[in-house]
Amino acid sequence: SQQGEEDPQALSIQEGENATMNCSYKTSINNLQWYRQNSGRGLVHLILIRSNEREKHSGRLRVTLDTSKKSSSLLITASRTADTASYFCATDFGGATNKLIFGTGTLLAVQP
Amino acid sequence: EAQVTQNPRYLITVTGKKLTVTCSQNMNHEYMSWYRQDPGLGLRQIYYSMNVEVTDKGDVPEGYKVSRKEKRNFPLILESPSPNQTSLYFCASSFSGETQYFGPGTRLLVL
């Protein structure tokens, strides 16, 4: 079964509002990453948070990680219509496999 | 420009007709992977490679082959495609095995 599960599956907000997406996973991880995908296109890396970090910021993005609850959240502040996309969390166990386990994603729609 | 390229971007084929999807990266990355993306299932790793001539199976390798003869190239081969291989395929590369850079995707339809 998949390691990461995002919540909610879909989210619609107005431009300027904040968007929060959550990700839960099942086993210990090396790091957790968030990616964005615009409608059927390639995934773009947004941010990586390591297992020993609790919070990380990048521009309008804020990611938190709670390893005790095996969960992470992605907050996008002051959303823009260009933020409309699917957002995926991906967990990395480390090691040699170079494998990321992706969740099924949150579809974010930012309305003008 | 640093990028991962895939060709073709769209492909319609028939069952049993061998095909190859090429992947190339210009970032001198050691790690490369292939994923497929299906509705409701997210992305799943097909094969990965840690370096030239080093490849291994991911989660869904059945029906696929790969090779890594050069560092920059990692083609995906479907020897005898079947309809259940209709999917959106992504190649990805990374330097450290962490942050991955994805190609634009190849949408495959097998009739």
pLDDT digit string (tens) for chain B, length 111 residues: 889 999 999 999 999 999 999 999 999 999 999 999 998 888 999 999 988 999 999 989 999 999 999 999 999 999 999 999 999 999 999 987 788 999 999 999 999
Instruction: Work out the percent of chain A whose per-residue pLDDT is above 90.
Output: 74
**Do B80 and B86 touch, CB atoms closer than 8 A?**
no
For B48, the closest of A94, A97, A102 (CB atoms) is A97
Q: Select the more confidently predicted residue: A1 or B17.
A: B17
Q: Confidence band (pLDDT; 50, 70, 90) for A99?
A: confident
Q: Residue type for A71, please?
A: S
Closest alpha carbon to A74 in A2, A3, A4: A4
Compute the distance between CA of residue B103 and CA of residue A51 in angstroms, rounded to an integer.
Answer: 27
Min Cα separation B10/chain A (Å): 12
pLDDT confidence of residue B42: 85
Whether chain B has a CB inside 8 Å of the CB on A40: the answer is yes
**Separation in Å, CA B49 to CA A72, B1, B78:** 28, 23, 17
Judging contacts by C-beta atoms under 8 Å, the chain A residues touching residue B88 are 40
pLDDT confidence of residue A97: 64
Find which of A98, A104, A106, A107 to mutate to test the B interface (most B CBs within 10 Å of its CB). Answer: A98
Q: What are phi and psi for residue B91, nearest 5 degrees? A: -100, 145
Q: Confidence band (pLDDT; 50, 70, 90) for A19?
A: very high
Min Cα separation A103/chain B (Å): 6
pLDDT confidence of residue B85: 98
Q: Select the more confidently predicted residue: B69 or A30.
A: B69
Kindly give the pairing relationship between strand B87-94 and strand B31-38: antiparallel
Average pLDDT, chain A: 91
pLDDT confidence of residue A55: 97
**Separation in Å, CA A64 to CA A56, A69, A92, B55, B69:** 6, 12, 16, 34, 40
Give residue for tokens 């094969």. Answer: B47
Contacts of B107 (CB under 8 A, 6+ apart): A40, B9, B10, B11, B88, B89
Compute the distance between CA of residue B88 and CA of residue B9 in angstroms, rounded to an integer.
Answer: 10
pLDDT confidence of residue B109: 98
Closest alpha carbon to A2 in A107, A106, A105, A95: A105
Min Cα separation A102/chain B (Å): 6
For B98, the closest of A31, A41, A88 (CB atoms) is A31
In DSSP notation, A43-65 reads: EEEEEEEETT-SEEEETTEEEEE
**Do B20 and B13 touch, CB atoms closer than 8 A?**
no
pLDDT confidence of residue A1: 44
pLDDT of residue A40 exceeding 90: no
**What pLDDT, in 10s, does the model give residues A56-91?**
999 999 999 999 999 999 999 999 999 999 999 999
Q: Confidence band (pLDDT; 50, 70, 90) for A95?
A: low
Closest alpha carbon to A100 in B52, B73, B31, B82: B31
